[in-house]
Amino acid sequence: VLAGRGLSWGHAASTDLLHWKQLPPALTPDPGWYDADGCFSGCATVDADGVPAILYTGVFKKPDAGEREGMPLTVANMCYERQLIARPADPDDPELKDWVKVQQPFLADDGSGLPLLCFRDPFLLEKPSASNGWRWRVMVGSNIDMEALAAQAADDVAGAADASTGTHGTAAAAAAAAAAAAGKAEGRSRAEE
């Protein structure tokens, strides 16, 4: 961690895995960018062309971070999380000292519409190849905000009742819908491309 700059990726190089040379950090937060408040964990790999790549989670604070009454001060509540890639400025440098961040997230969110918390830590499942259509196959860890999911389900039931009958949904119907939605979502994991 660099003072006042959030989490960074340390960097060391070795030719024999016994003796190590400490290098400047590979990734540090960039003010005003997707990783302005931290370069969180991820993985390193070599792509189909033999070029190294770092897949990682960048975090940046939400505009109202710290102003939400009753919300715990956690990264999930205070920050947006995006899945990012960095590549070496010079792939032929044996120490890979300088890294360049790809300008757009490779995955901004999971697209499920579920209220996710801690959407981070990309892990490579499969590298791009002819057999998979030259696509990265990446798994990203997350959990579901069950309270927010229940509130969404209750709103959906109440809204549907208002639209179809002109009356308000009942608390029992909202609770049943929330429980059903929570049951469907519990334990769900998703591998993203």
Burial 135-173 (b: 16+ CB within 10 A, else e): ebebebebebbeeebbebbbeebbeebeeeeeeebeeeb
Question: Where is pLDDT greater, at 120 or 39?
Answer: 39
Question: Do residues 25 and 8 make contact, with C-beta atoms less than 8 angstroms apart?
Answer: yes
Give yes or no for residue 167 having a pLDDT over 80: no
Task: Dig out the tokens for 63 from the structure.
Answer: 């505009």
What is the rounded average pLDDT of the residues 4-10? 83
The β-bridge partners of 124 are 138
Report residue 148 as tokens.
Answer: 């927010």
Q: If pLDDT is split at 50, 70 and 90, which confidence band does 152 have?
A: low
pLDDT of residue 12: 94
DSSP the chain: -BTTTBB-EEEEE-SSSSS-EEEEEEE---TTSTTTTEEEEEEEEE-TTS-EEEEEEEEEE-TTTT--TT----HHHHEEEEEEEEEES-TT-TT---EEE-SS-SBS--SS-S-EEEEEEEEEEE---GGGTS--EEEEEEEE-HHHHHHHHHHHHHHHHHHHHSSPPPHHHHHHHHHHHHHHHTT---EE-
pLDDT > 90 fraction of the chain, expressed in percent and rounded: 36
* Mean pLDDT for the stretch of residues 159-187: 45
Q: Are 7 and 39 in contact (CB under 8 A)?
A: yes
pLDDT tens digits, residue range 34-86?
Answer: 999 999 999 999 887 889 999 999 999 888 766 666 666 677 778 888 999 99
Q: Which of 6-15, 20-29, 66-75, 176-185 has the lowest mean pLDDT?
A: 176-185
Mean pLDDT on 161-178: 44
Give the chain's end-to-end CA distance (angstroms, integer). 30
